[in-house]
Amino acid sequence: MAIGTRDALVQAAESLMRTKGYAAFSYADLAETVGIRKASIHHHFPTKEELGIAIVEEYIARVRANFERIENDYQDVKGRLEAFSMEFRASREGGLLPLCGALAAEMAALPSGLQKLTHRFFDMQLKWLTAILDKGVANGEIPRGCGTRQKAFLLLSMLEGASFINWATREDDSIDLNIIRLIIEEA
């Protein structure tokens, strides 16, 4: 099935945001990438902020669907956290930064609507990770010890940070999945 112009714009702009950054790409870049005139982009997205919001909203929807898939495919906390971690590896292998990490790096320059969505996305991830860890505590898979919100923050920080280090060094290092064992077993 052929992809529509709007969807092509969102996909291409997401790639540009994840490789160049929000502030660094223009409608001229997007027009060249998609092969249309800038006026056509303005027809679909009158402002760059509206385009950015559409991208992040669609990204959030994909991530939520991925959370559901992970919960359905993996019954244990370790499997769920490893599957979540693999999403960061897939981005890296695709030559892309995590979208909201890339946006967070430009937070001060983002329009307020994108700032709010970026904050909402990180909050959503932390809540999901915390819930996964809470289930692990309730099921006896991981010890009570250190708070689950702290562990969720630590894991997300390591994954986002590793993405940026890999991006900057162009090396293929990644976080060893054994780190998940350390996070969930630490008291």
CATH assignment at residue 106: 1.10.357.10
What's the confidence (pLDDT) of residue 2?
Answer: 52
Q: At 5, list the tokens.
A: 């112009």
User: Which pLDDT does position 187 carry in this prediction?
Assistant: 44
- CA-based torsion, 69, 163, 96, 107: positive or negative: positive
Q: Specify if 33 maps to a domain.
A: no
The answer to whether position 164 is within a domain reads yes
The verdict on residue 175 lying in a domain is: yes
**Number of domains into which the chain is organized:** 1
pLDDT digits (tens, 9 = 90+) for 137-172: 999 888 877 789 999 999 999 889 888 887 788 776
Is the pTM of the predicted complex or chain greater than 0.85? yes
In a domain, 65, yes or no: yes
Q: Which domain holds residue 135?
A: 56-185
The answer to whether the CB of 173 falls within 8 A of the CB of 187 is no
Residue 60 is assigned to a structural domain of this protein = yes
- What CA–CA distances, in Å, run from 77 to 80, 125, 134, 142, 143? 5, 15, 9, 8, 12
Residue 39 covered by a domain: no
- Cα angle 18, 21, 27 (rounded to 5 degrees) comes to 100
